[in-house]
Amino acid sequence: MTAPLLDVDRLSTHYQTPTGPVKAVEDNSLTLEEGEVLGVVGESGSGKSTLLRSVMGLVEDPGEIVEGSVEYRGRELTTMSDAELRKLRGNDISFIFQEPTAHLNPAYTVGDQITDVLEAHTDLDSDERWERVYDLLGRLGIPSPRERAEAYPHEFSGGMAQRVCIAMALACDPDLLLADEPTSALDVTIQAQIIDLLSDLQEDLGLSILWVTHDMGVVAETCDTMAVMYAGNVVEYGPVESVFAEPSHPYTEALLRTVPSHLDTEPRFDTIEGSPPDLQNLPDGCVFRERCPDEMEACSARRPPYYELSEERLSKCFLHEGCSTRPSSPSAPDPTALDDVTADGGQLTDPEGER
């Protein structure tokens, strides 16, 4: 078996604040295969952006990865130098964000900004760079690309500015696109256009996308696999079809119930009774237990480990006790991991060895 494009293993990222750590990402595992789209869903504040930013060493201050690993094509990213990371970010991995204009420089034309990226990361000469810009803008559905390349960011509507950002992100032909709610700042009709565009580009270019979204419709329509986040924890991970058909975590179940027709509506997280816990003060046991209809005695004793329901599906829920577990992060409050693997000086060894 070849290594997945992206392999996140037992990753924890905390914001070290004066009042203690905010555990925005806690002991999370997921993988993204080449050419696939992985959707990350969860309510506001559940840690989606922090997870996405952790993947490329772009966590905002005072955040830091405190545990775990992120491998891109088998290369460990969490210990890479800034110079190496920058190179990878320019050539292999790129980003798009919610607010397109926040990521464009208002003082330069969009053509200048995209040619800058090309100059830094390719061997193209000036003429070739400009041809590439026109080509990209045209491909992204921007009319009259030669003229529009001379325009400044404020001369674009929100949807058009996001197209420019996508053009810039794709300029160097990346393999992996990290997209953090790229449509949620746009009008609904424009959202649909951008989603379709990304979806088409993904297919045409064989792109892999890690797509953070609130929108279950996006997940259902465009994603191959999904990760459901709750209070810093990816509580469920697996292929979209199988998770929709048979959610394994009570939170996923509740989430899917709140989407009347999961093809065209966003879930309303507030219809699940209660509110998520404070990430600075997480409860003992399962992070969802206070809102969970299936709470059992085991749930308050310790964090559920990742149960492997099948090769492709993970669930952090004691309902699946009996399934084999993935060893969890040594720092996580999860003594069960010690039952499954030998602890040598606190270091847990991966039972599968090299992957």
Q: Which residues contribute to the site for Ni ion (CB under 5 A)?
A: 49
CB of 270 to ligand ATP, least distance (A): 13
DSSP string covering 42-93: --TTSSHHHHHHHHTT-PPTTEEEEEEEEEETTEE-TT--HHHHHHHHHHTE
Strands 176-180 and 225-230: unpaired
Q: Does 158 bind ligand ATP (CB under 6 A)?
A: no
CB of 153 to ligand ATP, least distance (A): 23
Q: 126-139 vs 158-170: helix axis angle to the nearest 10?
A: 130
* C-beta closer to Ni ion: residue 137 or 194: 194
CB of 316 to ligand ATP, least distance (A): 17
Residue 349 DSSP symbol: P
Selected range binding ligand ATP among 15-23, 30-38, 114-122, 134-142, rule: CB under 6 A: 15-23
- C-alpha span between 239 and 199 (Å, rounded): 17
Among 279, 299, 314, 332, binds ligand ATP (CB under 6 A): 279
Q: Do residues 230 and 223 make contact, with C-beta atoms less than 8 angstroms apart?
A: no
Q: Does 327 bind ligand ATP (CB under 6 A)?
A: no
Q: Does 89 bind ligand ATP (CB under 6 A)?
A: no
Q: Which of ligand ATP, Ni ion, none lies near 261, with the C-beta cut-off 5 to 8 A by kind?
A: none
CB of 115 to Ni ion, least distance (A): 30
CB of 45 to Ni ion, least distance (A): 8
Q: Is 239 helix (H, G, I), strand (E, B) or coil?
A: strand
Q: In which element (H, E) is residue 214 found?
A: none
Among 22, 55, 140, 255, binds ligand ATP (CB under 6 A): 22
Total interface residues for ligand ATP by CB under 6 A: 16
**Residue ranges that bind ligand ATP, judged by CB under 6 A:** 15, 17, 22, 24, 42, 44-50, 60, 62-63, 279
